[in-house]
């Protein structure tokens, strides 16, 4: 009998200590952390965070992630958060290919937001399902790098609180006559770095109006959805270029110059250059910066 009692006590104790009840409030008092300036590093150099939102216009669950990112997380972290929306994979296909639902309005979902850079990243990082995203590519290759959108916030909070090991400065010069863009990216090493690092420079376009499938929304097929931060192309190839080999000491500075011609269909007023430095082995992004083309 004594032994049974011990077993019951263990069961009851397990039950008592292991349950938290939240009765409200349910949300944190939001602290706005927009202490990052765009382009030029301020007196305190902050760690900015890159979120890659893997999405598709035929992914009905994806707008929930986009809305959360832009209406909640971007409001909290402001310029400390740099977003690249990667339209890639199955749900980014154009109609009439699967998964085109079949009852969509005529002429819809024909704009192809995909590009080889995004498709290559999508495959390489094994993005399983949509919506999914990476926060500074943390967790690669264990499988935890590809996160559901509800998991982005704590990951961003953890990343933004890290010390910045590098700073980036982007200088753009755009010639509207020939749509030529000159980009200069200066990387300053703040703390000693070990290992190999690459600089990736990409072009995004914001506020593109287009079709989007949106579940739990009326209508489900939205003709004038605003697509934010859409990855258009890589300015310095799909995986960027090596800027640090075997480590770099604090105070080192690396400057890279690029020229790029904007596609005629892209609106330069809404285009941004996004540059980030990542560890060539772990793919972890150590710093990111964003600057308008114009």
Closer to other proteins at the Cβ: 76 or 293?
Answer: 76
**Site mask, other proteins, residues 68-107, x = CB under 8 A?**
----xx--x------------xxx-----xxx-x-x----
From 285, 261, 256, select the one nearest 271 (Cα to Cα).
261
Q: Which long-range contacts (CB under 8 A, 24 or more apart) does 42-46 make?
A: 45/164, 45/167, 45/190, 46/80, 46/160, 46/164
Q: Is 50 helix (H, G, I), strand (E, B) or coil?
A: strand
Binding pattern for the stretch 36-65 against other proteins, x by CB under 8 A and - elsewhere = -----------------------xxx--x-
Per CB under 8 A, contacts with other proteins among 177-216 are 215-216
CB-based contact 94:130 (threshold 8 Å): no
**Which spans in 142-293 are helix H?**
152-160
Residues of span 144-183 touching other proteins by CB under 8 A: 144, 146-151, 153-154, 156-158
Token pair for residue 184?
């200069």
Quote the least distance from Cβ 218 to other proteins, whole Å. Answer: 11
Size of the site for other proteins (CB under 8 A): 63
Is-contact 210 270, C-beta < 8 A?
no
As beta bridge partners, residue 195 has: none
Site string for other proteins, 233-272 (x = CB under 8 A): ----------------------------------------
For residue 26, state whether it binds other proteins (rule: CB under 8 A).
Answer: yes
What residues contact 183, with CB distance under 8 A and at least 6 apart? Answer: 170, 171, 172, 173, 201, 235, 257, 258, 259, 260, 273
The smaller minimum CB distance to other proteins, of residues 31 and 43, is found at 31
Question: Phi and psi at residue 73, in whole multiples of 5°?
Answer: -70, -40
Nearer to other proteins, 70 or 252 (CB): 70
- Cβ-based nearer residue to other proteins, 26 or 44: 26
Q: Which residues bind other proteins (CB under 8 A)?
A: 1, 3-4, 6-8, 10-11, 14-15, 17-22, 24-28, 30-31, 59-61, 64, 72-73, 76, 89-91, 97-99, 101, 103, 126-132, 141-144, 146-151, 153-154, 156-158, 215-216, 220
């Amino acid at each position: 009998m004594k032994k049974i009692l011990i077993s019951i006590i263990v069961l009851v104790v397990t039950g008592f200590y292991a349950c938290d009840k939240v009765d409200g409030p349910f949300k944190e008092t939001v602290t706005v952390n927009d202490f990052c300036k765009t382009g030029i590093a301020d007196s305190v150099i902050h760690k900015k965070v890159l979120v890659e939102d893997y999405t598709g216009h035929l992914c009905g669950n994806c707008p929930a992630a986009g809305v959360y990112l832009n209406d909640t997380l971007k409001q909290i972290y402001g310029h400390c958060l740099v977003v690249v929306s990667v339209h890639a994979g199955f749900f980014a296909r154009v109609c009439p290919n699967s998964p085109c639902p079949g009852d969509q309005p005529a002429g819809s979902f024909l704009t192809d937001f995909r590009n080889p850079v995004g498709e290559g990243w999508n495959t390489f990082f094994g993005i399983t399902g949509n919506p999914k995203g990476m926060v500074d590519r943390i967790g690669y290759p264990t499988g935890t790098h590809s996160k559901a959108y509800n998991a982005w916030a704590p990951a961003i909070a953890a990343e933004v609180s890290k010390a910045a090991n590098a700073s980036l400065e982007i200088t753009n010069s755009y010639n509207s006559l020939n749509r030529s863009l000159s980009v200069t990216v200066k990387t300053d090493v703040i703390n000693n770095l070990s290992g190999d690092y690459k600089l990736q420079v990409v072009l995004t376009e914001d506020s593109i109006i287009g079709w989007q499938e949106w579940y739990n929304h009326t209508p489900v097929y939205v003709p004038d959805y605003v697509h934010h931060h859409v990855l258009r192309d890589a300015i310095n190839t799909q995986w960027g270029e090596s800027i640090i080999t075997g480590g770099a000491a604090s105070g080192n500075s690396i400057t890279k110059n690029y020229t790029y011609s904007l596609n005629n269909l892209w609106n330069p007023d809404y285009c941004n250059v996004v540059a980030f430095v990542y560890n060539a082995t772990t793919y972890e992004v150590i710093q990111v910066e964003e600057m308008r083309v114009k």
